[in-house]
Amino acid sequence: MQNSPAIPADLRALGVGTPTARVTPLFDTAAARHLLNRAAFGGTQAQVDALVAMGLDHAVDLLVNFETQPSKTVNSDDFDRNLMPPLSREERDKLNAARRAREEAEVERLERKENQAKANDRRQLVDLKKWWIARMIESARPLEEKMTLFWHGHFATGARTIEDSWHMFQQNQLFRTYATGNFGTLVLNVIRDPAMIKYLDNDKSRKGRPNENLARELLELFILGEGSGYTEEDIKAGARALTGYTFEDDEFEYRDGNHDAGPKIIFGKEGNWTGDEFARLALAKTECSEFIASKLYRYFVNDTPAADLPAEQRDAREAFIRALATELRTQQYEIKPVLAKLFRSAHFYHACNRAATIKSPAQLIVQTVRQYGTPPRQLSALAGACDLMGQDLFQPPNVKGWDGGRAWINTSTLFVRQNVAVYLLTGKRPDVYDWENDETRFDPIPLLSGATTPDVVADRLISMSLAAPPHPERRAALVSFLTSQAHMEASEHSRTIAALALVTALPEYQLA
Amino acid sequence: MNDINAYSRRVFIRQGALLASFAATMPHFIQQSAFGMLAPDGSVLGSRPGVPDERILVVVQLSGGNDGLNTVIPYGQAEYHNARPVISIGEPGKPKNGGAALELDQANGIGLHPNLTGFKELHDSGKLCVVAGVGYPNPNRSHFASMDIWQSGRPEGKGTGWIGRYVDASCNGNPAADMAVVVGRTAPLAMTGTKSTPIAFESADLFRWLGADKNGAMDKEYQAMVRAGSLPGVEPGSQESFLMRTALDAQLTSDRIRAAVSKKPLVAYPGSTLAKQLQTVAAMIRDGMKTRVYYVSMGGFDTHANQSGGHANLMRQLGDAILAFQKDLAAQGNEGRVMTMCFSEFGRRVRQNASNGTDHGTAGPMFLIGAGVQPGLQGKYPSLTDLDGGDLKFTTDFRGVYQEILGKWMKAETQSVLGGEYAAPGLVRG
């Protein structure tokens, strides 16, 4: 504790106009856990203690400047890039001709080839989901994975439309490369990304017949925000600017012959704008910084709907997002320094922002494994659970991505959330339920650090599991359970698992 | 629908403090259904005259692309038999390749698959409507893409689902949480709206917290925790309060569904998965749940090779399950309230392939079942000679069928849900 410096005054500047005065600016255990929950996927008590010992600055450094941490390399042969050889143009023509001529044997042969490729590709997509979940669980650079997930939700593209798992993998690597890099550069890469080009039909867009899909979403969902600082005319002109941006096989290809090089007016400025220039013009608008700032805020700080906040908190939030937007512009959209500042700000640590975000399904799974040290169990089951909880990786519901926050929670997903924790703790899947045959035994005893009395055990389990101290009735219920007759008759292993199952079933467990 | 403050304010304004004072401990859906029953003058009504609150739609999804030509069979046309020498089915009374069609429309030479005896019985009692040649322009032959088009009700196959949008707009834009129920692993796109998500469960017994199987003490503590709702002193608009209230909702919904499903059905059901799903739906209807749309699905229709035996089994399961369901509804006295709709993402090609199966095609038949349908074969059966690259040309746009169901059966406004007007034959009796 003696190593916990006060949050530096200059960094508190980001919290101007926020209720910072009431926060104890100490980087204590609770603050370190808060940081680890938000900038990472939570962690063990030992990791929390280590962060406290190194102090706020070093703790933030460790998480944000993650390049110093080892990374599991991605081998080029981890995935097969040639699983989805699309029918060649020749084959496609053949297929159409065979259809017209009703040569069923030929139609069947070509369709079979296509269907086989699709089936193999769907299998590889499952491998890709497992691979990513494993990476989130194992990574020594959790913020890298967390921002990769953020960009996947921001620049949402669905595998089902793209029908090429290699392109999804390629895109995932792009998001990882720019996880905390420059947002503007990332945008320029995204408009060259085969998955995005396919998803938003830019491969079908050409001079004289522009397809507006990519231009529209760039302004509406990727750069400026819906209805914010652009007109329909800007979209139409942008679509023309983006003609010729397509892909061949696995690579971006610019086809000059398809590009509309004529003059266009974008945001009132006339020029023979290219797709890059269209993106840059949008990136130069203030609305961009505000839009990205509010999305980062919702992801990392607080996703309570504004309407449900007391007025002074709403004002503080707005002021903070404005400051964050200014910071984005000052840093010329370098994400890393902005996050570093965010994670050092008093506003981030304020009581009203603790336990104020709802864990995404991926966060719930990964954090449960990382904070308790449970075995990861079957990754395919975890990928399936993610889907059941509304976050099918590589398949966001639409181009808007996942709504997040309270949209994660409903009467169906809440039970899955509780039961996936039961699965991680016990190894038993709901459909083959059998408490007594725990194959990969998870030993929870070390979590108690020698505590045996119900009061101390309850406090330990609560502090390592919940993002904020719960209502006193929760603690009382847990103590009462820990002292109950049936409970005392069980082995220490069994009753500790049971207590953890109960804690993870608390509605409050869904908060980070 | 999760905007607690806004909601409480509205209730407060409309009905005074009486209802709002319960807000903190009441689960969302009880509040919302109470709200839904408020008449404009503020009085509470059980049901509103003239508004058929009680009508229900059950959607049966046939996944994989059902072979429409061997389901609703144009036995009277030589082209059908020529295109399918090994798998075509004979006219009524004259079995061919092991089967003879059941009579549906003698004048036009159209019958049902021999194993659709369940549908034949429903047809003979005027409760089956067969819509011929349903599809959409520029058909997509990918399972997923075409299913997304059917489920979204939009040519681009993206965004929200057609039922989701209907639910979003219900109850003056405040849909009750139990408006839509899926018996299945995940919520299909069709049922997903902007505001609304359906309740989804594969098996009622798993629609609960499973940790309590450990020991009784856990169950007691767990129940006390979730049933407390939002605890005193917790800020009503906070994330914590929202989660506590949703946990209470979930528990009450689970109690309700599991109690409903535990009752023995009034008729015997076959053993197929579809029959089990429909039995669960019937139990919920019998229990008086306020749910307006139920969704179930059945797979296995992607019959690329040696399809005759496999497809015959699917036809048996489909017809028998729906017949049992319909009999159950009749025994419950609910037959007049429920309409069932069957669809598949596409039909299959006219010609059989070299493996005695069929490949992905275009238009196919839909089925509507219930006392409220316009019985018999409706719409125009697609021509077997005027084809598009060996595929049938659709004669009814599927969105026209949705329009009939939403407009005439559910009495909903269809323009905003479907984004246009579509031509359709009369399928629902006014």
Q: Is A485 exposed, middle or buried (0-12, 13-18, 19+ CB in 10 A)?
A: exposed
The CA distance from B401 to B426, in Å, is 9
Whether A64 shows a pLDDT value over 60: the answer reads: yes
Q: Is A160–B144 a contact, with Cβ atoms under 8 angstroms apart?
A: yes
A44-53, A220-229, B176-185, B292-301 — which is least confidently predicted?
B176-185
Residues 6+ apart with CB under 8 A from B124: none
Structural tokens at position A27? 């980087």
Helix, strand, or coil (residue A187) = helix
Q: What are the two backbone dihedrals, phi and then psi, of residue A347, each rounded to the nearest 5 degrees? A: -60, -40
Residue B12 has what pLDDT?
Answer: 30
Residue intervals of chain B classified under CATH 3.40.720.10 are 52-418
Q: For residue A435, which residues of chain B lie inside 8 Å, CB to CB?
A: 213-214
Query: Residue A265: left if φ>0, alpha if ψ -120 to 50, beta else—which one?
Result: beta
The CA distance from A134 to A383, in Å, is 10
The CA distance from B8 to B191, in Å, is 27
Q: For residue B353, which residues of chain A lie inside 8 Å, CB to CB?
A: 104-105, 107-108
Q: Is A44 exposed, middle or buried (0-12, 13-18, 19+ CB in 10 A)?
A: middle
Residues 288 through 347 of chain B touching chain A, CB cutoff 8 Å: 304
Whether A255 shows a pLDDT value over 90: the answer reads: yes
Residues 117 through 146 of chain B touching chain A, CB cutoff 8 Å: 142, 144-145
Helix, strand, or coil (residue B411) = coil
Residues 6+ apart with CB under 8 A from B425: B131, B374, B378, B379, B396
Q: For residue B247, which residues of chain A lie inside 8 Å, CB to CB?
A: 414, 507
Q: How far is A360 from chain B (nearest CA, A)?
A: 14
> Is the torsion defined by CA of A340, A343, A346, A352 positive or negative?
positive
- How many residues appear in chain A? 512
Q: Report residue B143's pLDDT band, with 50, 70 and 90 as the boundaries.
A: confident
Q: Is A355–B240 a contact, with Cβ atoms under 8 angstroms apart?
A: yes
Q: Does A112 touch chain B (CB under 8 A)?
A: yes
The CA distance from B396 to B405, in Å, is 14
The CA distance from A82 to A121, in Å, is 9
Q: Within 13 Å and on the Cβ side, how many CA atoms surround A476?
A: 5
- Which amino acid is residue B311, in one-letter code? H
Whose CA is closest to A34, among A404, A449, A346?
A: A346
Task: Over range A45-51, report the average pLDDT.
Answer: 95
Residue A398 has what pLDDT?
Answer: 85
Torsion over CA of A416, A422, A428 and A432, rounded to 10 degrees?
Answer: -40
Q: Which residue bears the tokens 């023309």? A: A240
Percentage of chain A beyond pLDDT 90 is: 76
Q: Does A511 touch chain B (CB under 8 A)?
A: yes
DSSP state of A445: G
Tens of pLDDT, residue by residue over B161-195, are 999 999 999 888 888 888 999 999 888 999 999 88
Residues 247 through 276 of chain B touching chain A, CB cutoff 8 Å: 247, 249-250, 253-254
Q: Is B304–A115 a contact, with Cβ atoms under 8 angstroms apart?
A: yes
Whether B52 shows a pLDDT value over 50: the answer reads: no
Helix, strand, or coil (residue B181) = strand
Whose CA is closest to B260, among B293, B284, B278?
A: B284
Q: Is B351–A102 a contact, with Cβ atoms under 8 angstroms apart?
A: yes
Q: Which residue bears the tokens 């408020």? A: B38
The CA distance from B37 to B163, in Å, is 22
CB atoms within 10 A of CB B63: 16
Q: Is A508–B228 a contact, with Cβ atoms under 8 angstroms apart?
A: no
Q: Which of B210, B249, B348 to mutate to test the interface with A (most CBs of A within 10 A)?
A: B210
Whose CA is closest to A144, among A173, A112, A111?
A: A173
> What's the predicted TM-score (pTM) here?
0.84
Percentage of chain B beyond pLDDT 70 is: 87
A138-152, B37-51, B180-194 — which is least confidently predicted?
B37-51
Q: To the nearest whole number, what is the mean pLDDT of chain A?
A: 90
Tens of pLDDT, residue by residue over A386-396, are 999 999 999 99
Q: Report residue B214's pLDDT band, with 50, 70 and 90 as the boundaries.
A: low
The CA distance from B283 to B261, in Å, is 5
Q: To the nearest whole number, what is the mean pLDDT of chain B?
A: 87
Element (H, E) at B312: helix B307-332
Residue A14 has what pLDDT?
Answer: 39
Q: Which residue bears the tokens 């719409």? A: B379
Q: Which residue bears the tokens 């229709």? A: B301
What is the CATH T-level fold of the domain B52-418, as seen in this structure? Alkaline Phosphatase, subunit A (3.40.720)
Indicate the domain borders of chain A.
361-510
Residues 6+ apart with CB under 8 A from B188: B61, B151, B161, B182, B295, B297
Q: Does B214 touch chain A (CB under 8 A)?
A: yes
Q: For residue B193, which residues of chain A lie inside 8 Å, CB to CB?
A: none
No. of helices (H) and no. of strands (E), chain B: 13, 12
Whether B134 contacts B366, CB under 8 Å: yes
Whether B390 contacts B348, CB under 8 Å: no
Q: Which residue bears the tokens 């060259």? A: A192
Residues 6+ apart with CB under 8 A from A498: A481, A487, A490, B211, B214, B215, B218
The number of angstroms, rounded, from the C-alpha of A473 to the middle of its chain's C-alpha atoms is 33
Q: How far is A227 from chain B (nearest CA, A)?
A: 18
Alpha-carbon separation of residue A388 from A316, A361, A471, B89, B190 (angstroms): 35, 9, 29, 41, 16
Tens of pLDDT, residue by residue over A293-308, are 999 999 999 999 999 9
Query: Residue B395: left if φ>0, alpha if ψ -120 to 50, beta else—which one?
Result: alpha
Q: Which of B182, B221, B352 to mutate to test the interface with A (most CBs of A within 10 A)?
A: B221
Structural tokens at position A104? 């069923």
The CA distance from A196 to A485, in Å, is 59
Whether B225 contacts A474, CB under 8 Å: yes
Q: Is B206–A431 a contact, with Cβ atoms under 8 angstroms apart?
A: yes
Q: Where is pLDDT greater, at A257 or B48? A: A257
Q: Is A104–B209 a contact, with Cβ atoms under 8 angstroms apart?
A: no
In chain A, the residue whose alpha carbon lies closest to the alpha carbon of B210 is A419
Residues 374 through 403 of chain B touching chain A, CB cutoff 8 Å: 389-391
* Strand pairing category for B180-183 and B199-201: parallel
DSSP state of A86: P
Percentage of chain A beyond pLDDT 70 is: 92
Q: Which of B79, B201, B240, B358 to mutate to test the interface with A (most CBs of A within 10 A)?
A: B240
Whether A146 contacts A38, CB under 8 Å: no
Whose CA is closest to A299, among A150, A132, A509, A508?
A: A150
Task: Over range A348-372, report the average pLDDT.
Answer: 97
Q: Does A87 touch chain B (CB under 8 A)?
A: no
Q: Does A415 touch chain B (CB under 8 A)?
A: yes
The CA distance from B415 to B402, in Å, is 11
In chain B, the residue whose alpha carbon lies closest to the alpha carbon of A422 is B211
Q: Where is pLDDT greater, at B33 or B345? A: B345
What is the 3 state secondary structure string of B16-75? CHHHHCCCCCCCHHHHHHHHHCECCCCCECCCCCCCCCCCEEEEEEECCCCCHHHCEECC
Whether B3 shows a pLDDT value over 60: the answer reads: no
Q: For residue A477, which residues of chain B lie inside 8 Å, CB to CB?
A: 221, 224-225
Q: Is A505–B390 a contact, with Cβ atoms under 8 angstroms apart?
A: no
Residue A487 has what pLDDT?
Answer: 72
Q: Where is pLDDT greater, at B343 or A249? A: B343
Q: For residue A390, which residues of chain B lie inside 8 Å, CB to CB?
A: 197
Helix, strand, or coil (residue B293) = strand
The CA distance from A239 to A243, in Å, is 7
Residue A11 has what pLDDT?
Answer: 35
Structural tokens at position A19? 């209720």
Q: Is B159–A490 a contact, with Cβ atoms under 8 angstroms apart?
A: no
Q: Report residue A484's pLDDT band, with 50, 70 and 90 as the boundaries.
A: confident
Whether B52 contacts B191, CB under 8 Å: no
Alpha-carbon separation of residue A90 from A83, A103, A462 (angstroms): 19, 16, 64
Element (H, E) at A32: helix A29-39
Task: Say whether the ipTM exceeds 0.90.
Answer: yes
Alpha-carbon separation of residue B83 from B134, B248, B347 (angstroms): 21, 58, 15
The CA distance from A500 to B214, in Å, is 12
The CA distance from A315 to A317, in Å, is 5
Residue A434 has what pLDDT?
Answer: 56
Structural tokens at position A196? 């995005």
